[in-house]
């Protein structure tokens, strides 16, 4: 292992120490990962103005025109007047394991260049640039205490005619993605991640390693194709040296975007020594059957536990309404724990190998005293996890709350699903008990479109688990039944909250058969076909089997799916929309074949692929 790491480091460092020829009045340096398809960053220092910018290219294509860099604090303006002090380079090879995601075993390879600058008043700032095969990132490191951060000059100048998929800014990240172009987008604030197609090379803008030391950021379009970073807080409190979050640019083909783990790769290592208690899985979640009327009672919840046990689903989620209204219920009353039916439900579920997850409002966990009351009590009852809702902010103050709730939930061995939240920015690596986060215009919304749904795998879901809550078969929705079933594979979420009712599942036996088998954690992920706002087809491997999922937007058509599977012959079982409901078909194919799949309007499919042998008649595991 040590020899392999040394070889990788040597390969990464090769060719990193030479600067591009200086042009009149400027110096230019390149940072790139190995490989002809890897993106390249060019750091440009205008000596006269003392400004620094960054451009990105891939092959002969400009992905980002020179875009401004810099940071402003109370006591130092480090957006201009900068003098270059030197550059140092290193390689970084990291292996790590995650509990959720597109693949659990990760290998992160970086070339890192550190550019050292000093401002007019002697303030020191380093620009750290990292290059990987799937993208680039940069951050600022302030080497002294220069007061609160007042903003960044950071921006991204995208070629103006690039196709763009953008979501208007919203506190909880729950706005739909809409297709436009980089320059034609309205002059307003947008969410990250944001996706652009630059003449066949895709660029996704995101963020990593955000915590309470800083403030969340959005993207503000100035009307020309330049998107400026805007911090949530006008003043970010800083005490001493600071390393800002990473500004992330995932760059490559659409398959690179869809399978990238760059946002996690840039995050710090896990803070949990023991993850043996962390178990992802499917969740029976009945809230969309009618809110509190869906059965916030012991009797109804016992029925849901029985149904989950029959299906082999490991969890039932009990949403809002299971505890008293906080305005009427005082948790400081020493008898409050005896007023709940939750311990009895947990015992009932445990006997049937089902875990209970509970919803809780942020306001009931926003003080140290409340956390000390709630979290140990839930652990003592045997509750397996919490769905915490309505944080609705990415301010520094709210991020510091995340910094407190994350170790507290881990200490009490509670899985976490954040709702009304921000989006994952490396949290899955740092805190492996975070199973999923909302931060998505998901199935709870009434204004869904299939164009938005088929954009999510290339935007929001790229950066981490996404609690979209699929399988609401009983509801009015834009997707066909087979499309909805395919989302169990297309959308990745460590806790996959299945939003249907027992009756709606029983009416679709092929869906039940598939959902009893599909996992929520993957050994490998491949994009087979797709285009944002049009279609997305994924293959995800668990053990020796590949699960297939396809989702389309618009008219009925034939999806021609390249079977990018390991060499050999495969038995493929597909579930598609038929005249009388979901139908299952089989065919034997070879890896590399193109599989034609007929889909109805706004249709899709789900499927399984297993190694074919003459004795194999199904991909079901015994």
Contact 206, 250 (CB under 8 A): yes
> Which one-letter DSSP state was computed for residue 430?
H
CB-neighbour burial class of residue 336 (10 A; exposed 0-12, middle 13-18, buried 19+) = middle
Catalytic residue, from 126, 444, 481, 492: name it.
Answer: 444
Structure tokens belonging to residue 136: 């680039």
**Residues counted in the chain:** 622
From CA 97, how far away is CA 353, in angstroms rounded? Answer: 26
Strand, helix or coil at 286?
coil
51 Cβ contact partners less than 8 Å away, ≥ 6 residues apart: 45, 68, 69, 70, 79, 80, 82
Structure tokens of 603? 């249709």
C-alpha–C-alpha distance, residues 387 and 364, integer Å: 12
Q: Confirm whether 389 is a catalytic residue.
A: yes
Q: Is 299 helix (H, G, I), strand (E, B) or coil?
A: helix
| DSSP per position, 314-327 | -EEEE-TTSS--TT
Identified catalytic residue from 42, 77, 211, 389: 389
Residue 442 has, within 13 A of its CA and on its CB side, a CA count of 28
The answer to whether 141 is a known catalytic residue is: no
Say which residues have a Cβ less than 8 Å from residue 521's Cβ, sequence separation at least 6.
Answer: 99, 100, 101, 104, 280, 494, 542
Tokens of residue 30, six digits: 């390149």
What is the number of alpha carbons within 13 Å of residue 391 lying toward its C-beta? 26
Give the angle subtended at the CA of 105 by the CAs of 357 and 494, to the nearest 5°.
20
- Tokens linked to 91: 């390689």
CA distances in angstroms from 483 to 491, 517, 526, 565, listed in the order given: 12, 17, 18, 22
Residues with active-site annotation: 389, 444
């Amino acid at each position: 292992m040590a020899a392999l790491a040394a070889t990788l480091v040597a390969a990464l460092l090769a060719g990193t120490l030479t600067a591009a020829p200086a042009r009149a009045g400027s110096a230019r340096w390149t940072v790139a990962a190995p490989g002809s398809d890897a993106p390249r960053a060019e750091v440009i220092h205008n000596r006269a103005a003392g400004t620094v910018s960054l451009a990105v290219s891939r092959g002969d294509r400009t992905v980002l025109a020179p875009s401004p860099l810099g940071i402003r604090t109370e006591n130092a303006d480090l957006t201009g007047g900068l003098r270059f002090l030197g550059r140092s380079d290193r390689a970084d090879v990291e292996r790590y394991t995650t509990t959720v995601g597109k693949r659990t075993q990760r290998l992160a390879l970086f070339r890192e260049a550190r550019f050292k600058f000093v401002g007019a008043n002697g303030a020191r700032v380093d620009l750290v640039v990292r290059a990987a095969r799937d993208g680039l990132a940069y951050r600022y490191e302030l080497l002294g205490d220069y007061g609160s951060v007042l903003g960044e000059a950071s921006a991204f100048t995208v070629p103006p005619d690039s196709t763009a998929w953008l979501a208007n800014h919203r506190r909880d990240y729950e706005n739909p993605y809409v297709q436009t172009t980089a320059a034609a987008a309205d002059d307003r604030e947008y969410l990250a991640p944001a996706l652009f197609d630059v003449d066949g090379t895709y660029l996704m803008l995101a963020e990593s390693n955000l915590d309470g030391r800083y403030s969340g950021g959005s993207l503000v379009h100035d009307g020309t194709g330049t998107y400026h970073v805007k911090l949530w807080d006008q003043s970010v409190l800083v005490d001493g040296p600071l390393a800002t979050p990473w500004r992330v640019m995932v760059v490559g083909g659409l398959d690179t975007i869809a399978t990238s783990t760059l946002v996690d790769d840039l995050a710090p290592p896990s803070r949990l020594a023991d993850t043996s208690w962390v178990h992802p899985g499917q969740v029976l979640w009945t809230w969309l059957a009618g809110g509190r009327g869906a059965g916030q009672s012991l009797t109804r919840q016992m029925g849901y536990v029985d149904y989950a046990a029959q299906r082999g689903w490991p969890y039932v989620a009990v949403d809002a309404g299971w505890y008293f209204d906080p305005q009427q219920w005082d948790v400081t009353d020493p008898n409050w724990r005896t007023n709940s039916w939750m311990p009895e439900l947990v015992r009932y579920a445990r006997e049937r190998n089902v875990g209970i997850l509970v919803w809780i409002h942020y306001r009931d966990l926003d003080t140290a005293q409340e956390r000390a009351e709630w979290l140990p009590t839930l652990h003592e009852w045997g509750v397996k996890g919490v769905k915490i809702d309505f944080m609705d902010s990415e301010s520094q103050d709210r991020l510091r709350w995340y910094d407190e709730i994350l170790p507290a939930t881990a200490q009490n061995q509670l899985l976490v699903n954040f709702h009304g939240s921000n989006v994952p920015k490396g949290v899955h690596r740092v805190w492996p008990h975070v199973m999923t986060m909302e931060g998505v215009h998901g199935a709870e919304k009434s204004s869904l479109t299939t164009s938005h749904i088929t954009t999510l795998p290339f935007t929001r879901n790229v950066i981490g688990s996404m609690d979209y809550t699929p399988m609401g078969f009983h509801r009015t929705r834009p997707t066909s039944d087979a499309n909805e079933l395919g989302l169990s594979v297309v959308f990745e979420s460590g806790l996959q909250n299945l939003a249907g009712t027992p009756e709606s599942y029983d009416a679709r036996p092929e869906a039940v058969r598939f959902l009893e088998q599909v996992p929520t954690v993957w050994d490998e992920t491949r994009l087979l076909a797709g285009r944002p706002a049009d279609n997305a087809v994924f293959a995800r491997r668990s053990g020796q089997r590949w699960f297939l999922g396809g989702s389309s937007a618009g008219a009925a058509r034939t999806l021609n799916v390249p079977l990018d599977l390991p060499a050999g012959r495969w038995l493929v079982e597909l579930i598609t929309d038929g005249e009388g409901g979901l139908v299952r078909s089989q065919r034997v194919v070879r890896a590399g074949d193109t599989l034609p799949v007929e889909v109805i309007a706004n249709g899709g499919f789900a499927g399984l692929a297993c190694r074919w042998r003459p004795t194999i008649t199904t991909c079901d595991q015994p």
